Amino acid sequence: MNTCPLLLHSVNAGFPSPADDFVEMQLNIHDHLIKHPCASFFLRVGGESMKGAGIYPGDILVVDRSLQAQKSDIVIAIIEGEFTVKQLKFNQHGKPRLIAANRAYAPIECDNIEIWGVVTGVVRKYK
Amino acid sequence: MSSANTNEWIALADCNNFYASCERCFNPQLIGRAIVILSNNDGCVIARSAEAKALGIQMGVPFFEIRPLVEMHGVLAYSSNFPLYGDLSARVMQLLHVHAQEIEFYSIDEAFFTLPTTHCPESYCTSIKEQVQQCTGIPISIGIASTKTLAKIASKLAKKSRGTFLIQEANRQQVLENTLIEDIWGIGRRLSKRLQNCGIRTAWQLAMADEQYLLKRFGVCMLRTSHELRGIPSLALENSPEAKQSIRVSRTFPESVHDLDSLLQQLSFFADRACQKLRQEQQKALYVDTFIEGPYPTRKHRSTRFYLDSPSDYTPDFIHAVELSGQKLFHHCEIRKAGVTLHHFSSKNAWQQDFFSLPRDHQKQNTLMQQFDSINQKFGKGSLRFLSSGKREFSRGARLSPRYTTSWNDLALVK
């Protein structure tokens, strides 16, 4: 949903506002964060495994499902029926590995890692 | 490819077990498990995953009837989560729209669309299907043919094959010979009985039936269906859907209603909800039907109709009408289900053309309803209610999954 500026100032007859001809759509953070609206979803971070990549518990991840996951992308994968956020890497045999950005978490290797989507952004609110 | 050059291909995209697929999108643990989705107030089964269908759970069955089965097989039951289904439907439709020349959004989980003529229809639709699956997580099937009625048959076959199915001249006869009359779009139980009595049992027989005979015995709609089955397009894509002809709000009560006051509260609540929908449609209604239904298995049904003096979209008019109707219907028996239906619509705009000559109280009523709707839109359904509908909480069903895509508090968690 875009916002639309509403011109509420009443104009006295004969004195049009000089700004009226230059009204533009206000900036919308959605446009900046999302390239493919149909395929993009927000998920909330619930663990500390990606702290080293600046992804903290409570953050909102912007996830684009239309992208093919590339090496080094941060991805959402499904492991044992749960969503997990990790960095995608490949070992020398070309097998996918999910790497945490936190030493306390071991890499995950398995034959058929299901990638749910690619993380394209993170949103954090301080107040 | 005889008809490919003469007319364009019409495709029907249909989401597989749509509501169950939506529930799985953000809860991967549900993949492969039997799921059922329940109607408002968790009354009846309105959708089933393939696994639930395989257990023999029927569409529309009251939930309490299948409880033993549910417990025995660990079937998961969910209240209907329409904010989620609506959002995912909009995404699927948007993706289809991009690839379609013309599109008709037929229902929450189906759309007819025409294909650009330059492509091989099957491979084009396979790539659409894969894209929708990847972007939204919703699996779809696409049937392709030269007419809407054939596309509908093709979409059922697509579910049984690789997700797309093309009916063309080469395989049309074979497909139609294997399609029963009751499986044709728009032919219900009553019509199929009548057709069977005339010796028409398969879609092929209907396609080949004598035109004059069909027209005389069954009317022009059946003739159109017969033409469509022959591959002659007789039903156009409707890009601007007709305005609704009626609006119905009904509920099966979680616990039976025995007293008049509770019944009137429920009816008043239904009238309120129906009028909100009516104003959304920019319509006014002239009369309202009210019904009550007794308990299973007889489900004794009583209904009555109430005409207003003039078309209205003002909630108090209809609350008054359904309260009088409820008093008339009530007869000290147990009530399991009740509902109201608004009928005979006229466009609100027809009224607004002479806005300045409207009586003052009409203007006031309009303003009041506008404010009422905008407060409910802003603060959530049921924030502002009519006292006559009691202090009921807006029921969201006891087994509701999170509204993953429409509420900041309901986002799926990632470890």
> How would you write the pLDDT of chain A (127 residues) with one tens digit per residue?
445 555 555 555 666 777 777 777 788 899 999 999 999 999 999 999 999 999 999 999 999 999 999 999 999 999 988 999 999 999 888 889 999 999 999 999 887 789 999 999 999 999 8
Question: Is B243 or B317 the better-scoring residue by pLDDT?
Answer: B317
Write the single-letter amino acid at A63. V
Provide mean pLDDT across the span B237-250: 77
Provide the token pair at B175. 């497909």
Mean pLDDT (chain A, rounded): 88
How much of chain A, in percent, has pLDDT values that exceed 90? 68
B304 inside domain = yes
B81 inside domain = no
DSSP string, B281-322: TTEEEEEEEEEEE--TTT--EEEEEEEEEEEE--HHHHHHHH
User: Domain of B299: which CATH number?
Assistant: 3.30.1490.100
Q: Which of A9-18, B15-24, B234-243, B284-293 has the highest mean pLDDT?
A: B15-24
How much of chain B, in percent, has pLDDT values that exceed 70? 92
Q: Measured between CB atoms, which of A81, A83, A114 is closest to B414?
A: A83
pLDDT band at B360 (very low <50, low <70, confident <90, very high): low
A42 vs B: CB within 8 A:
yes
User: Domain of A111: which CATH number?
Assistant: 2.10.109.10
Number of domain units in chain B: 1
Provide the token pair at A49. 């495994």
Q: What is the pLDDT of residues B136-183, one digit of tens each?
A: 999 999 999 999 999 999 999 999 988 999 999 999 999 999 999 999
Q: Please give the radius of gyration of chain A, using alpha carbons only, rounded to the nearest integer.
A: 21
Cα(A86)–Cα(A82) distance, integer angstroms? 13
Just list the catalytic residues of A: 49, 86
Is there a contact between B101 and B115 (Cβ–Cβ < 8 Å)? yes
Write the single-letter amino acid at B223. L
* CA angle centred on B217, ends B211 and B220, rounded to 5°: 60
A21 inside domain = no
Q: Is the pLDDT of residue B84 over 90?
A: yes
pLDDT at residue B1, rounded to an integer? 35
Least confident range from B81-90, B185-194, B379-388: namely B379-388
Q: Is the pLDDT of residue B394 over 60?
A: no
Q: Tell me the three state secondary structure of residue B79.
A: strand
Contact B415 A85 (CB under 8 A): yes
pLDDT at residue A10, rounded to an integer? 54
pLDDT at residue B358, rounded to an integer? 53
Number of domain units in chain A: 1
Q: Is the pLDDT of residue B323 over 80?
A: yes
Mean pLDDT (chain B, rounded): 89
Contact B136 A46 (CB under 8 A): no
* CA angle centred on B197, ends B191 and B202, rounded to 5°: 70
Question: Is B256 or B235 the better-scoring residue by pLDDT?
Answer: B235
B39 inside domain = no
A30 vs B: CB within 8 A:
no
Provide mean pLDDT across the span B109-128: 91
Spell out the alpha helix ranges (H) of B35-168: 50-54, 63-73, 82-99, 121-136, 148-160
B97 vs A: CB within 8 A:
no
pLDDT at residue B117, rounded to an integer? 77
pLDDT at residue B288, rounded to an integer? 93
Q: What is the pLDDT of residues B176-233, one digit of tens each?
A: 999 999 999 989 888 999 999 999 999 999 999 999 999 999 999 999 999 999 999 9
* Confidence (pTM): 0.77
Q: Is the pLDDT of residue B119 over 90?
A: no
Q: Is the pLDDT of residue B357 over 70?
A: no
Provide mean pLDDT across the span B21-35: 95
A84 inside domain = yes
| Nearest chain A CA: its distance from B72 CA (Å) | 23
B333 vs A: CB within 8 A:
no
Q: What is the pLDDT of residues A28-45, one digit of tens each?
A: 899 999 999 999 999 999
Q: Measured between CB atoms, which of A49, A66, A83 is closest to B412?
A: A83
Q: Which of B77-86, B141-150, B325-334 has the highest mean pLDDT?
A: B141-150
Looking at chain B from residue 377 to 406, which residues have their Cβ under 8 Å from any Cβ of chain A?
A: 404-405
A87 inside domain = yes
pLDDT at residue B4, rounded to an integer? 39
Q: Measured between CB atoms, which of A41, A83, A116 is closest to B415?
A: A83
Domain membership of residue A73 as a residue range: 35-123
- In the block, tokens 């936190």 appear at A102
pLDDT at residue B92, rounded to an integer? 97
Domain membership of residue B339 as a residue range: 246-350+371-384
